[in-house]
Amino acid sequence: MNNSIYQLGEELKQANVGKVWVNEPLANHTTWRIGGPADLLIQPKDKETLALAVQMIHRHNIPWSVIGRGSNLLVRDGGIRGAVLKVAEGLSHCEFRGQEVCVGAGYSMIRLAVEAGKMGLTGLEFAGGIPGSVGGAVYMNAGAHGSDLSRILKKAEILFDNGEVKVLTNEEMKFAYRTSLLQTKKGVVLEATFQLRDGDRNEIAAVLAANKDRRRQTQPLQLPCAGSVFRNPPGDHSGRLIEEAGLKGFQIGGAQISEMHANFIVNRGGATASDVLTLMDHVRRTIMEKYGVDLHPEVLVVGEG
């Protein structure tokens, strides 16, 4: 690790931007409990200190990337060089304004869905099982139960790589299936505003409860995992194809295709990113050979091997 990383780390601590870790294993910060070290991991206290951290990172000409709550993320075993910004508790404000809700990027999607339901606002029920943060959900246009973020997002405040902060409309976010502008143009979500509708509190609560029960019965939530591993191909489901191919329970190292849901890979203990990637490659090859379908990862793979 070069001296500029240490120097930046000390400057960030002196500037009191928030929590700063050096050479921190990202396995401690992902839901898969997998991942090598970040040279520098920074968890800013708020929007202002996040912007300050990006300015300081730029001054040192150090590469940077962003994580949220670490779901839907596979960090390779070599970790991530440069600085990693963790957008979490510091950016977790939430304000309801009539049928709109303005919420910080670090806020829990599950908590937001529950809070909206209590307010009698409908539109977020699908998100009651998305384990990540608002920022990560906006970044990947997260969805479930036939809906996604693009249907309710009104605008998003983004801090771009050049230090400029812009408020983008839904259209400007260029949403598509599990993707957005931010996958091609580097930036950090600071906050998002969602447009909801008035609904019946009891009906919303019933939908959230039903979705929660379905997840509990069909998803391996008792083991470290990262959510769905592959995107669904048009007109089909990855889980159905993987199960039909007889791959449920197949294991490489500590990584196993869940016996409960075939589109989940679980960490049975000590799994490495290499185990997961080898298993993903095996699944893709098998599905291509058997059905001629090319499965594309839904999880974001980052870092060095």
Band (89; pLDDT cuts 50, 70, 90): confident
Residue 56 banded pLDDT, cuts 50, 70, 90? very high
Q: Has residue 144 got a pLDDT over 90?
A: no
171: Cβ contacts below 8 Å, ≥ 6 apart:
none
Tell me: pLDDT of 143 over 90: no
What is the pLDDT confidence band of residue 131, given thresholds at 50, 70 and 90? confident
- Tell me the average pLDDT across 54-62: 93
Q: Is residue 1 pLDDT above 80, yes or no?
A: no
Contact 112, 211 (CB under 8 A): no
The pLDDT mean for the chain works out to 94
Active site positions, annotated:
178, 228, 298
User: Taking residues 48-70, what's their average pLDDT?
Assistant: 93
User: What are the φ and ψ backbone dihedral angles of 268, each rounded to 5 degrees?
Assistant: -80, -5
- pLDDT of 128 reads 86
Tens of pLDDT, residues 156-203: 999 998 888 999 999 999 999 889 999 999 999 999 999 999 999 999
Percent of the chain with pLDDT over 70: 100
Predicted pLDDT of residue 273: 98
CA 201 – CA 199 distance, rounded (Å) = 6
Beta strand segments in the chain, E? 18-25, 37-44, 64-67, 73-75, 80-86, 94-97, 100-104, 121-122, 143-144, 147-148, 153-160, 165-169, 187-195, 197-198, 251-252, 255-257, 265-267, 300-302
- Across 126-140, 219-233, 269-283, the highest mean pLDDT is recorded for 269-283
What domains sit in the chain, N to C, each tagged with a CATH number? 3-89 (3.30.43.10), 92-203 (3.30.465.10), 220-302 (3.90.78.10)
